[in-house]
Structure formats: structure tokens, C-alpha cells
Amino acid sequence: MDVKLKYKAKKIKIVFFDIDDTLRVKDTGFIPDSIQTVFKQLKDKGILTGIASGRGMFGVVPELRALQPDFFVTLNGAYVEDSKGKVISQTVIPSDRVTSYIAWAQEEGIDYGLVGSHGAALSNRNSLISEAIDVVYPDLPVDPDFHLDKDIYQLWTFEDRGDGLQLPEALAEHLRLVRWHPHSSDVVPTEGSKAAGVSKVVEHLGLKPENVMVFGDGLNDLELFDYAGIGIAMGVSHEELRKRADYITKTVEEDGIFAALEELGMVEKELHFPQVELAAAEGPKATIKTNHGDMKVQLFPEQAPKTVANFIALAKDGYYDGVIFHRIIQDFMIQGGDPTGTGMGGQSIYGEKFEDEFSPELYNIRGALSMANAGPNTNGSQFFIVQNKNLPYSAKELSRGGWPEAIAEVYASQGGTPHLDRRHTVFGQLADEASYQVLDKIAAVETGAMDKPVEDVVIETIEVED
């Protein structure tokens, strides 16, 4: 993502989201948890939110309504209301035009749908229609006379003619087809689009198009991408939309919306600190068996995947068997993992030194398992375990220095080495009190030159539970 786009993002005051395959997966209804975070953080920053969909209000599922968007641009812009139900804009298709459309559809031998502001009906029910519409609007009634006592904002075709289907000239002057399914098109006013509906909201708020960001995936988002200051296409987007997008993000399942907004600096990842909530931590565990006792370690592959993979593979290969802790400094740390026992050796499974993995969720608190290195991105096989019990800083001082409050509290009450944060990759944490007792026992051994123990402290083996 380029710097220019990040600069443009600073002007955004409202973000509109398509529904299907943007906020949720159309075929399964899956909505990632990150969507709630997106809406909450945008609201906290004073950025408005809106739905911009081909769906009607009756098709906005409860889970999305619960997000409390500020505006709903529905039926491809034909019906717009705010969060309190106040109508901002509406474009009704004249009744004579609806009648002409129905006559044409019947003459062509195709089925159709009639869409009001808060409900819709079908002219017929068969497998082709059900395949197209039920995933969006399940159980719509069959009522070919729905239009006789309802305002119509949009129409549908149901057929298998694809892009070859064309409206007759008389209708094409006023209506156009927008393909959204292999067996169906939305039929909307020629001037109608999501962009037209969004523009009504923008005018209502006294904003400009440059203040608008949109997320979408389909052909009915084309005009909206041309209108908005920033258009972001989902990973499954139609090729034509991708061409017009300012940025292409990941899919719904991959938290595409959150990922794009995080890149733009508009949301921040909610941090969880597994070292603080160790009982709830999941993932592989290791037992470092030494001639002074065992130390059980919880590993964190989510935050440090490459480092954990390296440690586990070396352990399973017996690489650490018989290796000593070659450097021990009480009230600091114990260091091992070098087969040469000198602090100058050791190799990773990657055949070369590998990069640091600094996670904002992991810190060098007491009991942390961290990588030893000779500078940035020089990780191999050596590691250390933080032993320091005392820290001359209060939690308040650490918080002021930029450490998260939860971590600052742990540092202040339990100890650690905060000066090593973002210098050494943390990838595990001692898991029980017995392990800390072994850690302190090892830290207390007599040492000589270069902080090497007078009597070897040996790693007998490291056992891994995946």
C-alpha cells in the first residue's frame, strides 16, 4: 500500500460496505469477528459507517443491523435511510414502467421479481429462481400482483440468458440490467446506482466524495468506486472492479476489511497477551529437561511462527540434547542452545540466520523464552530464559514509556528485562511455578569467566507436545 493512499485515508469521514462477499460470505452467512472491531473502532474515531447494498432493508441480516451503521443505502441506491429509520432518499419506479416491464418479461417467457422498500415478491417459484434468490432472501412469497399496492424500487430477472439478455429500447431508456448472479439481474433506473444513493448521504452530511471510502466486490459497485475517494475491492472481486480499485484486500474469511483498514492506519489490532492469560493459551508446549530439573514452556506459534517452528524442529531432532547453558547471569537470564558451548555457534533449521519476529503481544517478562542473537535478524539456535525478579520501574512509568498497561503491571510486580523488547524475539513462557523454581536454581549456580557455570548445567533433552 503506497504512502499516497495512506494520506488520502486521513480525509475519510464515512465508510460504506457492501454486504455479500464483503461484510459476510453470501453462500454461508459467515461474518468474521473482526467486523465488530472495525465498526466499533471507526465509531470511536468519529468515522461514520454505512451499508451500500443491492439488498433491500429486509435483506440486511440482524447481525449487520446489530453493528448499528449510521446509514443504509439499499436496493442499489434506490432507497436510503439513516439509523433511526428516517428516509434520506428514495427513487420509485413509475407504475406504468413496472407494468411495461412485466409485460415484456411475460412476452420473453422469463420470470421476474418485484422489490419494495421493505419486502419483495416473485412471479413464480422454481429451482432456477430458488438457486439465485434464496441465499439472499429466503422464502419470498409468490405474488405477481405485488406491485398493485406497493411502490416498486427495483425489479429482477430470473433466466439463464446471461449478458445476452437485453431490455427493449422503450424500457432501456429508463431501466438497465445489472448482472449479480448467473441466473438473475437487478433491474434498476438508468440513473440509479449505489453511487447515487451514497451521494445523497454525502450531500445530507455536507461532505465531499473525497471523504468517502467504499468496500465492495461486484459489478453493482463500479459506479461507487468511480465516485468515492477510496475504493477497496475484496479478494474475490469481479475483474472489472479490481481494475478500478485503489487497493485489493483479502477475502472475508481472511479478515480482508480489517486488514485493509489496519494498513491505512484506521483501525488497530486488538491485542491479547498470552503470557498474562497463560491458562487460556493454546498451542504446542515444550519441556526443557535439565540436570537441575524440568522447565515446562508454553510456545506461541501465532505470534512467532518461524521461531517456534525452528525451536520445535531442532528439539525433535535432538539438536539440543546434551547442550549446556553456557551463560548464566543471576537477576538477568540463563542462555543456552549452542552445541559448541561457546556462545558463538548454533544453526537454525533454515540453514542460515533468520529474521526477528517482534510481536506487540509478547514481552521479555520474567519467565519469557526468547531468542539470543548477535544483532538484528541473526537468529539461529540459541535462546535464553528471562530470570530477573526485580525491576526499578513502576507500572505507571512503564506505561508512560509505551508498554501496554497489562504488561507494565507484570513487569512491575514480577520482573523481567523490558530493555530487550523489540531486540530479541519472545516465543514462549514458563508454564508453572515448579519451572520458575528450577529457573531460579539454575540462575544461582556458581559461574566463572564469561558467566559460564563452573559445573555444567546440561539440557538433557527437550520434549515437545504439539
Burial 61-82 (b: 16+ CB within 10 A, else e): eeebeebebbbbbbbbbbbbbe
- Helical ranges in 362-417 per DSSP H: 395-400, 405-414
The cell 455479500 sits on which residue?
Answer: 20
Q: 22: buried, middle or exposed (CB in 10 Å: 19+, 13-18, 0-12)?
A: buried
- The catalytic residue among 2, 18, 160, 338 is 18
The angle subtended at Cα 262 by Cα 260 and Cα 264, nearest 5°, is 75
Q: Is 18 a catalytic residue?
A: yes
Instruction: Tell me how far apart the alpha carbons of residues 120 and 106 are, in angstroms, rounded to a whole number.
Output: 18
Helix 256-263 / helix 34-44 crossing angle, nearest 10 deg: 40
Residue with cell 405485488: 146
| Kind of pairing between the strands at 14-17 and 48-52 | parallel
- Output the DSSP codes for 171-185: HHTTEEEEEEETTEE
3-class state of residue 22 by DSSP = coil
Q: How far apart are CA 267 and CA 269, in angstroms?
A: 7
Cα 22–28–30 angle (5° rounding)? 55
Specify whether the CB–CB gap between 128 and 160 falls below 8 A: yes
Confirm if 442 and 457 have CB atoms less than 8 A apart.
yes
Helix, strand, coil content of the chain in percent (nearest 5) = 30, 25, 45
CA distance 415 to 439: 14
For 45-91, where are the E strands, in sequence order?
48-52, 71-74, 79-82, 87-90
DSSP state of 94: P
The order of strands in the sheet holding 120-122 is 120-122, 111-115, 154-158, 184-189, 175-181
Catalytic residue list: 18
